[in-house]
Amino acid sequence: MSKKFKVAIKRQDDPNGASRWERFEIENEKGMNITTALQRIAASPVTIDGKQSTPVAYDACCLEEVCGACSMLVNGSVRQACTALANTLLENKPDEITLEPMSKFPVVRDLVVDRSKMFNSLSRVHAWVPVDGYSDRGAGPRISQHQQEDSYPLTTCMTCGCCVESCPQFHPESDFIGPAAISQAVLFNEHPIGSFEADKRLEILTGNGGIADCGNAQNCVKVCPKNIPLTRSIAKAGRSATVFAIKQFFEK
Amino acid sequence: MASESSPSSQGGHHFLLRRLHSLAGILPVGVFLVVHLTVNSTINFGGEAFQTQVDRIHDLEPFLLPVEIVGIFLPLLFHAVLGFQIWFSGRPNVGAYKYGGNLRYTFQRVTGGVAFVFILYHLWHMHWLGESLGGARFDPHDAAATAALAMKESLFGVPLNLLYAVGVLACVYHLANGLWTSLITWGITVGPSSQRTSGYVCAVFGVVLGIVGLSSVRGFKTYEGAEVTVQHTDAEQHGDTEQHGDAGQHGDAGHVSASQTSSQDLQRED
């Protein structure tokens, strides 16, 4: 393996600006990931043509795949930059590594995108446990070991955006809340106190942009860096939605 | 918030419409497809066996048309209109994400489109509704011979039986895969393991129905009661059928031809 490798980066100066590709060549290092590569480019932002450029803007935080900040398109598909190792990528595609911002969100600058739509979706489905701070209601109900084991994987969601980026049903013109928000709705509907608001969440899930917009392509579960059983959550939401809709019809 | 209005929203009935779309694809449209292909495959047991099945269906007269409209055409149209809306609401991305599920997702939309075009053509070609437009090759009173003759035609130089094979397979895939996704949509198969199992079951169902469908196409294509060359005009074709085919068993002297459009309704009454 050659000591140097090429990185092609899709750049954009501001949210409304045009995008352009810039190519850099950097020295390979042992265990180098994409975030490190971007740091090296920032240290000396000179393109392959010898043109002086600017450091590439990117998001990164925890560097251990738990915060979800560094999602981007690496070689055309979405993943976390921090766990994308240069050597592994070069084994599959030796000529160069391409980096692009996620395509389903507005670009802020270069590889930085605005994931507000995801957070809005979480607020739409009331992805929280409602707590009334005015009176002491005593200890909450116990959660069984079994339920804990079911719920824990869902709590690891970091709203990184990989699932919605890979979802053909989620795009700027769609109203779909996406797999992450559906999974969080399921998490809080199965929580003993969260379930107080279960009907409220199901009303959102059976509304516009809700569970009916899922097309069962199941990319979400394949790309999820946390291996969250998103398709199980979606099918669970589908089942609850079926029961909820029938109940609504007959109880109205 | 992006939630207020969007091109994909359908007021307060979004969920209901999508679930009705799922339901309509299985009941009645999917059930009809299974019955239709199974009935057609009886051609492989001879012209009379097929005629018996066709007669059983046409025994529904004079309620056949209302049953067709309410039981097939309207649900199918509803399924198709919403289906295209669903298709255009997505942005297929198999190029970037080459997963099996994603391929099935994209293929489900493509086969739906192919099926829609095929069914429109098939209605014109075989159903008496296509009569005024120069179609309506199928005569229920002379089922095997007319269907066999129709299957020997060609469209833009492509043998029609090949186009029918593609159309039938598109319908079958769309139903089998639709069955698999509907089990998820309605919340019946929840976990990955049950979804895998139902996937195998739906695949077997699809393969079997596909074989039944292809055997029908082949059965009509090779039916011996209609050894006619295709180059003739419509009138000549039908004339030849009467000589070689089993039209005699009904003794219909004024046998249907595309030029005798007005006589067919009378025939259907008797």
pLDDT band at B225 (very low <50, low <70, confident <90, very high): low
Q: A residues 93-112 near B, CB within 8 Å?
A: none
| Partner-chain contact A222 B99, CB within 8 Å | yes
Give the pLDDT confidence of B27-37 residue by residue, as tens digits. Answer: 999 999 999 99
B106 contact residues in A (CB cutoff 8 A): 168, 217
**What does the block give as tokens for A246?**
């029938």
The answer to whether A159 and A118 have CB atoms below 8 angstroms apart is: yes
Residue B250 has pLDDT above 50, yes or no: no
Burial label, A202 (beta-carbon count in 10 A; 0-12, 13-18, 19+): buried
Task: Please provide the DSSP assignment of A11-48 as one string.
Answer: EESSTTSPEEEEEEEEE--TT-BHHHHHHHHHHS-B-T
Query: What pLDDT shows up at residue B270?
Result: 37
Q: Chain B interface, mutation test: which of A118, A126, A162, A219, most B Cβ atoms within 10 Å?
A: A219
Closest alpha carbon within chain A to B190: A235
B245 — pLDDT class (breaks 50, 70, 90): very low
Contact A38, A56 (CB under 8 A): yes
pLDDT at position B11: 54
Three-class DSSP category at B155: strand
B253 at interface of A, judged by CB pairs closer than 8 A: no
d(CA B171, CA A18) in angstroms, rounded, equals 43
Structure confidence at residue A134 as a pLDDT band (50, 70, 90) = confident
pLDDT over 70 at B3, yes or no: no
Largest Cα span, chain B = 72
Q: Could you give the CA distance from residue A237 to residue A231 in angstroms, rounded to a whole number? A: 10
Residues of A in contact with B104 (CB under 8 A): 217
**Chain-chain contact of B187 with A235 (C-beta, under 8 angstroms):** yes
Please give, rounded to a whole number of angstroms, the shortest distance from the CA of A249 to a CA of chain B.
11
pLDDT digits (tens, 9 = 90+) for A41-64: 999 999 999 999 999 999 999 999
B 167-186: CB under 8 A from A: 181, 184-186
Find tokens 């509704």 and name the residue: B129
Q: Which pTM was predicted? A: 0.87
B186-223 pLDDT tens trace: 999 999 999 999 999 999 999 999 999 999 999 999 99
Cα A28 from Cα B256, distance rounded (Å)? 79
Is residue A97 pLDDT above 60, yes or no? yes
Task: Give me the phi and psi of A100, to 5 degrees please.
Answer: -135, 155
Asked whether B268 and B262 are in contact (CB, 8 A), the reply is no
Q: C-alpha distances in angstroms, B85 versus B14, B90, B112, B135, B239?
A: 12, 9, 12, 29, 45
Nearest-CB residue to B6 (from A124, A208, A211): A208
The pLDDT of residue A132: 73
- Asked whether the beta carbons of B72 and B29 are under 8 A apart, the reply is yes
Report CA torsion sign: B49, B54, B55, B60: positive
- Name the pLDDT band for A133 (thresholds 50, 70, 90): confident
**What is the average pLDDT across A102-114?**
98
**B187: chain A residues, CB-CB within 8 Å:** 235-243
Give chain B positions within 8 Å (CB) of A211.
15
Q: What is residue A137's predicted lDDT score, i.e. its pLDDT?
A: 77
Mean pLDDT for A158-186 is 97
Q: Is the pLDDT of residue B9 over 80?
A: no
Q: What is the pLDDT of residue B251?
A: 38
What span, in angstroms and rounded, lies between the C-alpha atoms of A201 and A193? 13
Give the model's pLDDT for residue A192.
92
Helical H segments across B90-137, by residue range: 100-126
Q: Cβ separation of B3 and A222 shorter than 8 Å?
A: no
Please check whether residue A52 touches B, CB under 8 A.
no
* Distance between B71 CA and the closest CA of chain A, angstroms: 23
pLDDT of A6 over the 60 cut: yes
**Contact (CB<8Å) A231/B192:** yes
Amino acid at A205: L
What ipTM was predicted for this assembly?
Answer: 0.93
pLDDT at B248: 39
